[in-house]
Amino acid sequence: MQLQKAIIGKKVGMTQIFDESGKVIPVTVIEAGPCVVVQKKTTENDGYNAVQLGFQDVKESKLTKPELGHLKKAGIAPKKVLKEFRLEKAAEMNVGDEIKADLFAAGDKVDVTGISKGHGYTGVIKRWNAGRTPMTHGGGPVHRHAGSMGSCSDPSRIFKGKIGAGHWGVEQVTIQNLEVVKVDAELNMIVVRGAIPGPKGGVVCIKNTVKNFKVKGASAGISLNPQKASARVNPQKASARTR
């Protein structure tokens, strides 16, 4: 699927701002860009149109020789993060072009993708919200254990995907349909309403949202059930009798 616009950024942290009416808005501040086009892929050479963006300068010693050679071939300074995006206007972009935070504007709806926080090795209760075993009548010291997995001689194994203890977090997570509250091109700052995945300093990708919500009409909340007040001409309790 082709995207209209996308940029790579770094999560700075959360704060709150006030709107014109004085209401508090919880927001996340993202240092977005500037990103440089490192590579351009075309239909003729690669079978599809896309651009590879580079973000955040880094020392040459931090990169492998293949990564460094790839960037030197494009004439771009060493970058820490490289990501490819299939943009609608990829054919119009060239290597060396810069993408800044003002690509987005206040009011835009975006999807933010990042790597979630790591919580280490945890049990099934903390990781999967499992229940405890009975606390009385000889429950024993296994109240927070996974318990029986239900397998017997057939199939004589545990199916994949069964909940269990293990590493929690450090997974790719996408939060959809977040609203851009403020954009500052000079500070390379994009402020979005709500929380986004990952710790402070974590790398995130901001893309235009893939969801299109339809505005509900005025009659959307009216029920067809005659027992509900919204369906009656003269709203009253369902148990009330008319004489």
pLDDT at 226: 64
Q: What are the Cα distances from residue 92, in Å, to 37, 83, 131, 186, 190?
A: 12, 18, 55, 25, 25
Q: What is the mean pLDDT of residues 171-191?
A: 92
* Confidence bin at 28 (pLDDT 50/70/90): very high
Q: What is the mean pLDDT of residues 110-114?
A: 93
Read off the pTM: 0.76
pLDDT at 234: 58
Give the residue ranges of DSSP H helices in the chain.
43-46, 65-74, 124-128
Whether 27 shows a pLDDT value over 80: the answer reads yes
Cα 100 from Cα 151, distance rounded (Å):
55
Q: How far does Cα 44 stand from its chain's mean position?
A: 32
Residue holding tokens 């701002």?
Answer: 17
Q: Tell me, yes or no, whether 187 lies in a domain.
A: yes
Q: Tell me, yes or no, whether 239 lies in a domain.
A: no
* E strand residue ranges, the chain: 6-18, 24-32, 35-41, 50-57, 79-85, 98-99, 109-115, 121-122, 166-167, 172-184, 189-193, 203-208
Q: Tell me, yes or no, whether 95 lies in a domain.
A: yes
Q: Tell me, yes or no, whether 48 lies in a domain.
A: yes
Q: Tell me, yes or no, whether 201 lies in a domain.
A: yes
- Using left for φ > 0, alpha for ψ between -120 and 50, and beta otherwise, residue 121 falls in beta
Whether 236 shows a pLDDT value over 60: the answer reads no
Whether 190 shows a pLDDT value over 90: the answer reads yes
Beta pairing, strands 166-167 & 121-122: antiparallel
Q: Tell me, yes or no, whether 234 lies in a domain.
A: no
- Smallest CA-to-CA distance from 51 within 80, 92, 79 is with 92
Q: pLDDT tens digits, residue range 30-39? A: 998 799 999 8
**And the tokens for 124?**
């099934």
Q: Tell me, yes or no, whether 189 lies in a domain.
A: yes
- Count structural domains, the chain: 1
Residues spanned by the domain of 171: 6-214
Cα 37 from Cα 45, distance rounded (Å):
17
180 pairs with which residues across the strands?
Answer: 192
Q: Tell me, yes or no, whether 220 lies in a domain.
A: no
CATH of the domain at 65: 2.40.30.10
Lowest mean pLDDT among 56-60, 111-115, 183-187, 233-237: 233-237
